[in-house]
Structure 1
Amino acid sequence: MDYDVIIVGGGPAGLAFARSLAGTGLEAILVERQPYAALADPSYDGREIALTHGSRAILERLGAWQGIPKDRVSPLRAARVRNGRSAFALDFEPGPAGEALGWLVPNHLIRRALFEQVAEQSELRLACGSSVVSARTERRFAEVQLSTGETVRGRLLVAADSRFSPLREALGIEAEVNRLGRAMLVCRAAHPKPHDQVATEWFGHDQTIALLPLNGGMSSVVLTLPEREIERLAKLCDTALGVELTRRSAGLLGPLEVASSRHVYPLATTWAKHFGARRTTLIGDAAVGMHPVTAHGFNLGLSGQGLLAAEIGKALRQGRDPGEDSVIRAYERGHRAVARPLWLGTNLLVTLYTDERPVARITRHAGLRLGARLPLFRSGVRSILMAR
């Protein structure tokens, strides 16, 4: 074998998994189409990641949390869900002793911190600026041909190359792909009213808008609309866009002033029919690409790679092949058990809160009020948000 593990994709899940292999003695290669410089210093992409307690613990173990500037970490003290024009809101309060629900951290800073950890990692080769041209698996090995002309073999092939994973498709692993016809526009905005570190998710009629509290009188605004409408808004000047965002958020935080570049992301969800196959596993968005409304996707990717690394570690301690079928199936069972309820629940929530029929409006408003009266419901959701 050329390597024990071949990792395809240098996003957060791929980088975290590569780092999780440190100290195992396994020889690994990470294949990423972006050049080295883009991985080492990724550009701001507008996305603020809501990290749970569990995800923070993973990043701490990997040494990445310590590399994120503390002034760029914004605590999420509480969350509020609003529906339509109703003044009623369902609140999720802090945990015991005022413990934060989570932390908001710029995506590009997480990626930078993870890359810093793997950049000099022994027993790991970074094949930047290259992509997979073809892939195949046999009983004893997986083989990929790179765009550079090189062919490499390994005992385990790990796909971490996005929700539209070309590697997943090349290997014939089917996936449910849902292009939603909607897009989200994200940017930072300054405002005069305090947010008190409370996130607001507002399901308005024909739109969804989230106001995520950042440090320094700033919020990340995430607006979801049909793709064509988002394209129109993205072309506005900063002043006009600020006026539009203020109107769409009903002035909750006062006049919004655009304070960053704006970024547009078409929305699509994916669910792979299998998270593993012969000599192959899928992690991150290649396995399950979540709708961003519940902020579970990034955290699920981190926990999934951790589970795979744990199963590989167990196999090594028992003298077994890290790419054998029992390792892959154990990972798949464990990750699907966690991911499936989140996938189904998120899709149900999105369906309910984007349905503008009168009966749906009544149902979701009644659901919010019922949830407010059930302490066990609120504490259950809070425990998911604060998952360890």
Structure 2
Amino acid sequence: MMDCDVVIVGAGPAGLCLANALSGAGLSIVLVEQQSDDALRDPAFDGREIALTQQSVAFLTTLGVWARIDARVKSPLANARIFNGSSPFAMKIGHALSGHDELGWLVSNHLIRRAAFESVEHLRASGADIRVMASARVIDVDTDAASARVRLDSGQTLAARLVVAADSRFSATRRMMGIAAGMHDFGKSMLVCCMTHDAPHEHTAWEWFGHRQTLALLPMNPDPASGAHRSSVVVTLTAREIERLNALEADAFNREIERRFERRLGAMTLRSTRHVYPLVAVYPKRFVATRFATVGDAAVGMHPVTAHGFNFGLVGIEALSRAVAAAQAAALDIAGDALLSRYEAQHRRATRPLYLITRFITEVYTRDSLPAQIARDAMLRIGEKLTPFKRAVAMSLAGQ
């Protein structure tokens, strides 16, 4: 049996950032990850582009992660536009309303993962007591008032003071602890990929609620090979339609995406692999249990329409790591019931309102009936005239 202070299940960006945040508190930390060491060191492109708020960038900077991401792949997110159907009208959210030069930054998920892993490796080389157990799977977790035990498929058992689940919105670890979660399956799937296009995006994100489809455009820096305008394209359709779209040859795929965007971006060309994800939002009944906590998507699995998923993960990581570090410094229990209850209450206050608002937005803005289309258009036009409302949206997008 191996003893440590904290076991983190999942070495994705959330788990790695938590290990980083806890590293200066004098704790021994073990990260358990199903993927191989090679996959952690050089993660593959997975299609996902993460919109990071100003608050998230500030936290990643303190962790030393932001500096490890090449400046050439950090795309500024200046503004946002929200469309309804075929109307050229859009509600515009400008960065000036947030008080920053940009609302946030767009970075590929696999590059954040790589930078977070490199940061942890640097800490380990500098003497931090962090162990990464790759190609390992957790098969059981049990806890009591005195300690926690994590059993691996290798037969090894880890004894810890605190166990943290950071293993996706469908967290098996959370289920092992008997924590139920409210899941909302939208009955649709997302296809994500990078494409170049003729028209400039002006570093403006699009959210387009069309008829029987939802489109998103996330502005990226120019294509490194051709210098062409480049964006991450997100298409949300029924699972059957997404399967058909994903199976198209590249040229046919390009033409269909051009058609779906009503050629507003001119000719469009696929520049990456395509990736499909089911659209499911998750909110657990509890974030904590005895000597157990959840972070990242294991705590809150957001619908991507408001781009707050990973940002909420970092909010939770910052709150939990500060509480644990303070307890350790005061020679208190780092997994005491009161500490974990405060973390749960704080993270619920930070996430629950926007989670519910997002559910409402996706329900109202994806209905295809004529009354719903008219109502959406009216709401966007009213919203465009309400500067305080747009300022609140801009500040939310910036993480304030």
One fold, TM greater than 0.5? yes
Superposed, 1:184-195 pairs within 5 Å as: 184-195=190-201
Per mean C-alpha deviation after superposition, the further-off stretch among 120-129 and 11-20 is: 120-129
* Alignment-derived partner of residue 366 in structure 1: 378
* Alignment-derived partner of residue 64 in structure 2: 63
Structure 1 residue matching 2:161: 3-state secondary structure:
strand
* Alignment-derived partner of residue 316 in structure 2: 304
Superposed, 1:192-211 pairs within 5 Å as: 192-211=198-217
Task: State which of 199, 223, 226 in structure 1 corresponds to 2:238.
Answer: 226
Q: Distance in 2 between matches of 1:86 and 1:33?
A: 46
Superposed, 1:320-335 pairs within 5 Å as: 320-335=332-347
Task: State which of 141, 147, 161 in structure 2 corresponds to 1:141.
Answer: 147
Q: Does 1:24 align with 2:36?
A: no
Listed as ranges, the gaps of 5+ residues in structure 1 are none
Q: Does 1:110 align with 2:116?
A: no
Q: Distance in 2 between matches of 1:135 and 1:41?
A: 29
Q: Distance in 2 between matches of 1:95 and 1:116?
A: 34
Q: Distance in 2 between matches of 1:174 and 1:52?
A: 29
Q: Distance in 1 between matches of 2:115 and 2:311?
A: 16
Q: Distance in 2 between matches of 1:177 and 1:198?
A: 31
Q: Does 1:375 align with 2:381?
A: no
Q: Distance in 1 between matches of 2:181 and 2:8?
A: 20
Listed as ranges, the gaps of 5+ residues in structure 2 are 223-228
* CA shift digits 1:14-65 (9 cap, x unpaired): 1100000111100110000001110110001111110000110111011011
Counterpart code for 1:48: E
Task: State which of 265, 274, 292 in structure 1 corresponds to 2:286.
Answer: 274
Q: Distance in 2 between matches of 1:178 and 1:352?
A: 15
* CA shift digits 1:46-95 (9 cap, x unpaired): 11110000110111011011011111111011000000122211000122
Q: Does 1:235 align with 2:236?
A: no
* Alignment-derived partner of residue 225 in structure 2: none
2:12/2:166 contact within 8 Å kept: yes
* Alignment-derived partner of residue 51 in structure 1: 52
Task: State which of 271, 288, 309 in structure 2 corresponds to 1:259.
Answer: 271
Structure 2 residue matching 1:228: 3-state secondary structure:
helix
Q: Does 1:354 align with 2:355?
A: no
Shift of 1:140: 1.0
Counterpart code for 1:211: L
Q: Distance in 1 between matches of 2:216 and 2:183?
A: 24
Q: Distance in 2 between matches of 1:248 and 1:357?
A: 19
Structure 2 residue matching 1:63: 3-state secondary structure:
coil
* CA shift digits 1:172-197 (9 cap, x unpaired): 00101222221111111111111111
Q: Distance in 1 between matches of 2:96 and 2:316?
A: 25
Q: Does 1:248 align with 2:260?
A: yes
Structure 1 residue matching 2:113: 3-state secondary structure:
helix
* CA shift digits 1:273-318 (9 cap, x unpaired): 0001110001111111000111110110111111100111221232
* Alignment-derived partner of residue 286 in structure 1: 298
* CA shift digits 1:341-374 (9 cap, x unpaired): 1100110000011111222222221111111111
Shift of 1:98: 6.4
Counterpart code for 1:299: N
Q: Distance in 1 between matches of 2:63 and 2:95?
A: 27
Q: Distance in 2 between matches of 1:328 and 1:54?
A: 23
* Alignment-derived partner of residue 80 in structure 1: 81
Q: Distance in 2 between matches of 1:93 and 1:213?
A: 14
* Alignment-derived partner of residue 38 in structure 2: 37
Superposed, 1:332-343 pairs within 5 Å as: 332-343=344-355
* Alignment-derived partner of residue 344 in structure 1: 356
TM-score (norm 2): 0.95
TM-score (norm 1): 0.98
Q: Distance in 2 between matches of 1:288 and 1:387?
A: 16
Runs of 4+ displaced beyond 3 Å: none
Identity %, equivalent residues: 47
Structure 2 residue matching 1:44: 3-state secondary structure:
coil
2:25/2:329 contact within 8 Å kept: no
RMSD: 1.2
Counterpart code for 1:41: D
Structure 1 residue matching 2:341: 3-state secondary structure:
helix
Per mean C-alpha deviation after superposition, the further-off stretch among 91-100 and 148-157 is: 91-100
Q: How many equivalent residue pairs?
A: 388
Q: Does 1:153 align with 2:153?
A: no
* Alignment-derived partner of residue 8 in structure 1: 9
Q: Distance in 2 between matches of 1:330 and 1:265?
A: 33
Q: Distance in 2 between matches of 1:243 and 1:236?
A: 10
Shift of 1:102: 0.7
Counterpart code for 1:344: L
Q: Distance in 2 between matches of 1:331 and 1:229?
A: 41
Q: Does 1:181 align with 2:187?
A: yes
